[in-house]
Amino acid sequence: ATEQPARVCSEAVTDSDMVSPQPLEVRERLVDLPQQVSLRKTASCTAIYALVLLVTGMMLHPTLKLFYSAGHQNGQAKNTLSVVDAAVSAATLLIFRGLRQRLWRSTAETIAWRVVTRSFAPAVGVFGAICLATLANYESLWTFLMLAPLEFVFVMLLSCLWQKTKPNVGQLTASFLVLSGSALLTSSKLWKQANNAAHAPADGWVVAVVAAVAFRLDQALTTIFIRDACVELRGHGLEDILDISLCKMFWVFILCMPYALATEGFTGWSIIFRARGVALTYLLLSAAITCIFQLANVGLNSHLRSVPSVIVMQMQPLMQISAALLLSGSSLHSKLQLKWDDSWLGVSGSSLLLGGGLCCVVSSLLGARRAHA
């Protein structure tokens, strides 16, 4: 009788020894596991946003050109089409938001007023791009192309001066490669447009240069504004990519409506409402592409800082080359006007873009690992 408790106690001690604390290395791995999952999830979302942004960006302008060419007067409704695209995008995002709120219950019933007001500045940038692109292309396409690399330069300067960011060595290397590649590709385009350089702009070279520079600066400011909005709203727990995109497109619609009426009157609306068949298909397709593009743009800027984000946007020629090779010989290849520059300038520029993109990816991954460490 006296030996039984001792044996039970001994067995209890043995059982407790079987569940002894795990080694320190194993416990550290278990602690790091949620961080690794979060890092992989963030990287996956960023890659998806980047891919969608590049694909839709490649398709948008050819689709608009197809709509303009589908009717002999469709080119007179460019600004009105911008109104339609913005309205359809905002309505689609609003419907999707309602469905998400009903099905998953993870969405607030109303959009916070802070999100509405903070989305105004990016919308002004989009509206400014619509106005300035039309003016700059009208004045001189050659000048517009020549000053294309300025957008990247403006983003780098504004990121350092406005957002107080300090790029690391990897980002500086990637920026140099991308800027060099963009300059070579621009030089190739200018070489092909050499005949247009001899034609003086309609309102003089000063207006043409100012319009082109203003457009590039506006594009850079839009990138900065979107990133700032995402960061500020994240601090208030309001960083919802869908809500920011919805409000941004709503403001674009409000700003573009009077501009379209002032420049095209009701003629543009009559052209839109008369669209049938192929023209209507291209019209709806342009609205769908615009919606997805703007949503992906906000998503990418919410995950990346301004300089890496604009580096991703500079990968557009590489996406066009991939699509041209993939769709070679198909009707879609000709409709999307897919082509790539096989001159030594084009090949060199594309190679530098690829190197800069890879360098940016490696630098971003290493920076994310250090941030989660």
Higher-pLDDT residue of 50, 34 = 50
Task: Please give the pLDDT value at position 35.
Answer: 53
Task: Please give the pLDDT value at position 54.
Answer: 92
Provide the total of helices (H) and of strands (E) in the chain, helices listed first: 17, 0
Q: Are 339 and 257 in contact (CB under 8 A)?
A: no
Task: Please give the pLDDT value at position 195.
Answer: 59
Rounded to an integer, the average pLDDT of 90-110 is: 84
Residue found under tokens 């996956």: 44
Contacts of 16 (CB under 8 A, 6+ apart): none
% of the chain with per-residue pLDDT over 90: 41
Look over the chain and give the mean of its residue pLDDT values, rounded to a whole number: 82
Q: Examine the pLDDT at 59 and tell me if it is beyond 80.
A: yes
**Both tokens of residue 280?**
């209507």
Higher-pLDDT residue of 85, 69 = 85
Higher-pLDDT residue of 313, 36 = 313
Q: Would you list the DSSP string of 341-369?
A: --SHHHHHHHHHHHHHHHHHHHHHHHHHH
**Both tokens of residue 306?**
């301004």
Least trusted range by pLDDT, from 210-214, 256-260, 346-350, 363-367: 363-367
Least trusted range by pLDDT, from 2-6, 118-122, 276-280: 2-6
Q: Examine the pLDDT at 360 and tell me if it is beyond 90.
A: no
| Residues 285-316 pLDDT 10s | 999 999 999 999 999 999 888 999 999 998 98
E strand or H helix that includes residue 25? helix 24-69
| Residues 255-264 pLDDT 10s | 999 999 999 9
Stated pTM of the model: 0.83
Which DSSP letter does residue 163 get?
A: S
